Amino acid sequence: AQSVTQLGSHVSVSEGALVLLRCNYSSSVPPYLFWYVQYPNQGLQLLLKYTSAATLVKGINGFEAEFKKSETSFHLTKPSAHMSDAAEYFCAVSAPNVGSKIIFGSGTRLSIRP
Amino acid sequence: KAGVTQTPRYLIKTRGQQVTLSCSPISGHRSVSWYQQTPGQGLQFLFEYFSETQRNKGNFPGRFSGRQFSNSRSEMNVSTLELGDSALYLCASSLGEENQPQHFGDGTRLSIL
């Protein structure tokens, strides 16, 4: 079975500071990993995905994530936070032979201080 | 390319009623998944339909059901509504392969009085 754990339900950073959102996964098989973002009153938007082609994955809006098998982690980073990055971020995992079923983490709300 | 469309956006019902939510996937997508999002339980997978067949199912009671039509549009039905069914219901579509990301609609916010 697959699962993800997001460390920190709320992260607050200053505008221009580094953003680091933590995600650890559990999977009995090589996983597919995703980061999604949700703005208020909207659905989820894909930021990036890992499917084993490269361990460092670049996504939209300047975000990237690094897959570390030894640490079972897939942390999301952005070098310089912008006010528009304030949103809720979800790490998610899928696996072979489960179709399109995705298991989501509990989410991390990112706040940006001016 | 049009995105995933969910209707209605907002819905208010009372306990004991039933409700049907609709989802139109992105053109060409054959998989439609449904999720329930609540502050307490987060995002929970309800079920997935692929080519008119339920391919995956989450851990929800039988009051929650769905179907998919030949044009890939999907509906979700909840019968005998309970207060705890108040949530944002999200629909997502994808091509159907396991490593493909899902594209989400903006959801239907269901409130039970």
Take residue B4 and report the two structure tokens written for it: 């995933």
User: Are residues B45 and A96, on separate chains, in Cβ contact within 8 Å?
Assistant: no
The number of beta carbons lying within 10 Å of the beta carbon of residue A50 is 22
Residue A99: per-residue pLDDT: 65
The span from the CA of B86 to the CA of B108, in Å, is 10
Residue B58 has pLDDT above 80, yes or no: yes
**Residue B60 or A40, more confident:** B60
Three-state DSSP class for residue A102:
coil
The span from the CA of B5 to the CA of A99, in Å, is 22
Chain B interface residues facing chain A, Cβ-Cβ under 8 Å?
4, 6, 31, 33, 35, 42-43, 45, 48, 50, 55-56, 90, 92, 94, 96, 98-107
- Residue of A62, A107, A64 whose CA lies nearest to A82: A62
User: Is A103 within 8 Å of chain B by CB?
Assistant: yes
For residue A23, give the H/E element and its range: strand A19-26
Which of B98, B106, B111 to mutate to test binding with chain A, by most A CBs within 10 Å of its CB?
A: B98
Residue A29: per-residue pLDDT: 75
CB neighbours of B72 closer than 8 A, spacing ≥ 6?
Answer: B25, B29, B30, B32, B93
Three-state DSSP class for residue B4:
coil
Residue B1 has pLDDT above 80, yes or no: no
CB neighbours of A57 closer than 8 A, spacing ≥ 6?
Answer: A48, A49, A50, A64, A65, A66, A67
Residue A30 has pLDDT above 80, yes or no: no
User: Are residues B96 and A94, on separate chains, in Cβ contact within 8 Å?
Assistant: no
User: Are residues A41 and B105, on separate chains, in Cβ contact within 8 Å?
Assistant: no
Residue A87: per-residue pLDDT: 96
The residue-averaged pLDDT of A41-56 equals: 88
Report phi then psi at A2, rounded to 5: -105, 150
- Residue of B103, B107, B113 whose CA lies nearest to B36: B107
Q: How confident is the model at residue A97 (pLDDT cuts 50, 70, 90)?
A: low
Residue A52 has pLDDT above 90, yes or no: no
User: Are residues B48 and A100, on separate chains, in Cβ contact within 8 Å?
Assistant: yes
| pLDDT tens-digit map of B8-57 | 999 999 999 999 999 999 999 999 999 999 988 899 999 999 999 999 89
Taking one residue from A and the other from B, the number of pairs with CB-CB distance under 8 angstroms is 67
Residue A47: per-residue pLDDT: 96
Q: How confident is the model at residue B2 (pLDDT cuts 50, 70, 90)?
A: confident
Q: How confident is the model at residue B74 (pLDDT cuts 50, 70, 90)?
A: very high
Residue A106 has pLDDT above 70, yes or no: yes
**Residue A95 or A87, more confident:** A87
The span from the CA of A73 to the CA of B62, in Å, is 35
Three-state DSSP class for residue A34:
strand
The residue-averaged pLDDT of A12-26 equals: 96
